Amino acid sequence: MYLWIKALHIVFVASWFAGLFYLPRIYVNLAQESNPAVVERLIGMGRRLYRFTTILMVPALLLGLWLWLGFGIKGGWLHAKLALVILVIGYHHACGSLLKKFERGVNTRSHKWFRVFNEVPVLLLLAIVILVVVKPF
């Protein structure tokens, strides 16, 4: 059973992160766009992707919790991973907050800022994978 839970956890985490990789790319385009029709289309894409990404986040977190509590996974690396997962959840919610600003037409950030913001989940995923695979402590 452990391997099935682990496999499903990996699939949902990868899917969640795919959304977190793409959503800020939509924001880059929104920050550059002035055509109202294109802006509305991009906002619609952002809404749907954020909703879908949120749905994917839930089983990723629940399966991770099951692995941790149900199978007794422990170690210093796990504490560091959990701290990074909290940051990923915060990033996810920040994406939702930024989307609401675009919906209200009050975004003040540049497309360059969103390009940098887009790299955050890459760094978080890299750190999490290293902690899980290497278990440095």
Please state, as a whole number, how many other Cβ atoms lie within 10 Å of the Cβ of residue 104: 8
Q: Which residue blocks in the chain are alpha helix, DSSP H?
A: 2-32, 36-65, 76-104, 111-117, 120-134
pLDDT in tens, the chain (137 residues): 999 999 999 999 999 999 999 999 999 999 999 999 999 999 999 999 999 999 999 999 999 999 999 998 999 999 999 999 999 999 999 999 999 999 999 999 999 999 999 999 999 999 999 999 999 99
The rounded distance, in Å, linking the Cα atoms of 71 and 129 is: 19
